[in-house]
A and B are shown apart, each in its own frame.
Chain A
Amino acid sequence: QVQLVQSGAEVKKPGASVKVSCKTSGYTFTGYYIHWVRQAPGQGLEWMGWINPDSGGTNYAQRFQGRVTMTRDTSFTTAYMDLSRLRSDDTAVYYCARLQSDWDDYYFDYWGQGTLVTVSS
């Protein structure tokens, strides 16, 4: 069965970086884009960007340009999201999600369990 399993919670100081992993299984890793979405406490979902696991190509939301880097390791069928220069308002649960894009359908069919990143001095 398809699974996306994320790394554990992190506590970081302002200015530091965090790297969250998303280990996938149960499907062909290179066949589906992985997107990252975050959710601040009590707030809504915010799209951050995607990575094409096949080519390594990426596309980031404008507000994260220059601070976020998405990578993948095809040998480990794992995607990564690295966010630098952390601020307190980056405190959020970060999700990875698989984009289903068959037959001109586009939607997130599987999600990771979420990783809480807390930024505090």
Chain B
Amino acid sequence: QSALTQPRSVSGSPGQSVIISCTGTSSDVGGYDHVSWYQQHPGKAPKLMIYDVSKRPSGVPDRFSGSKSGNTASLTISGLQAGDEADYYCCSYIGSFVLFGGGTRLTVL
């Protein structure tokens, strides 16, 4: 199975909103609601931001939200802050297998 498709980069100014997409197929993103999103700062381990498409773990600001339509999941970050600048990865849990997206570099201008 191929990696999920994400834009290589997105950018936005402080206070603005950005959307990062994650496109798969009906066999992964479209077929299951087990899509999660991870934030990774340079040299650090990934951190869970969203799970099961739209659920937010405790401690994650409500500026982060997730959704899904068909074979595409999306992560929306509103009220951009400098600390949001990082790489973001989507992940689809498919039974006994896992697929990651290629990652998106978010730049806060």
Chain A residues at the B interface, C-beta cutoff of 8 Å: 35, 37, 44-47, 50, 59, 61, 95, 97, 99-100, 105-109, 111-114
Question: What B residues does A105 contact at CB under 8 A?
Answer: 34, 51-52, 55
Give, as a whole number of angstroms, the nearest-CB distance from B38 to chain A.
7
Question: What B residues does A108 contact at CB under 8 A?
Answer: 36, 38, 46, 48, 91
16 interchain pairs, CB-CB under 8 A: A44-B3, A44-B102, A45-B40, A45-B103, A47-B97, A47-B98, A61-B97, A99-B93, A105-B55, A106-B51, A106-B52, A107-B36, A107-B51, A107-B52, A107-B93, A111-B45
Interface pair B45/A113, CB less than 8 Å apart: yes
A46 to B38, CA, bound (A): 13
Within 1-55 of B, Cβ neighbours of A (below 8 Å) are at 3, 34, 36, 38, 40, 45-48, 51-52, 55
Interface pair A109/B98, CB less than 8 Å apart: no
Which A-chain residue is minimally distant from B93 (CB atoms)? Answer: A106
Give, as a whole number of angstroms, the nearest-CB distance from A44 to chain B.
4
Q: Can you add 5 more A-B contacts, CB < 8 Å, to A106-B36, A108-B91?
A: A47-B99, A107-B91, A108-B48, A109-B48, A111-B45
Chain B residues at the A interface, C-beta cutoff of 8 Å: 3, 34, 36, 38, 40, 45-48, 51-52, 55, 57, 89, 91, 93, 96-103
Please classify the interface of chain A as helix (H, G, I), strand (E, B), loop, or mixed, using the class held by over half of its residues: strand
Question: What A residues does B100 contact at CB under 8 A?
Answer: 37, 44-47
Give, as a whole number of angstroms, the nearest-CB distance from A4 to chain B.
9
Question: What A residues does B38 contact at CB under 8 A?
Answer: 45, 108
Question: What B residues does A113 contact at CB under 8 A?
Answer: 45
Give, as a whole number of angstroms, the nearest-CB distance from B16 to chain A.
25
Give, as a whole number of angstroms, the nearest-CB distance from B25 to chain A.
16
Question: What B residues does A99 contact at CB under 8 A?
Answer: 93
Interface pair B45/A95, CB less than 8 Å apart: yes
A47 to B95, CA, bound (A): 14
Question: What B residues does A95 contact at CB under 8 A?
Answer: 45-46
Question: What B residues does A59 contact at CB under 8 A?
Answer: 96-97
A114 to B40, CA, bound (A): 12
Give, as a whole number of angstroms, the nearest-CB distance from B61 to chain A.
17
